[in-house]
Amino acid sequence: MANLFDITGLNLASEMTERLVSTNEIRIERIVSKGQSSPKDFWYDQSEHEWVVVLSGYGVIEFADGRNITLHKGDYLNISAHEKHRLAKTAPDIETVWLAIFYH
What's the CATH code of the domain at 55? 2.60.120.10
Dihedral over Cα of 92, 57, 21, 62: its sign: negative
Q: Is residue 66 part of a domain?
A: yes
Please give the residue range of the domain that contains residue 64. Answer: 29-103
Per-residue model confidence (pLDDT) at position 72: 98
Q: Is residue 88 part of a domain?
A: yes
The structural domain count of the chain equals 1
Q: Give residue 93's pLDDT band: very low, low, confident or very high (50, 70, 90).
A: very high
Q: Is residue 16 part of a domain?
A: no
Q: Alpha-carbon distance 79 to 100, whole Å?
A: 10
Q: Is residue 21 part of a domain?
A: no
Q: Give residue 81's pLDDT band: very low, low, confident or very high (50, 70, 90).
A: very high
Average pLDDT in the chain = 96
Contact 21, 2 (CB under 8 A): no
> What would the mean pLDDT of 14-39 be, rounded to a whole number?
96
Q: Which of 52, 58, 53 is nearest to 95 (CA)?
A: 58
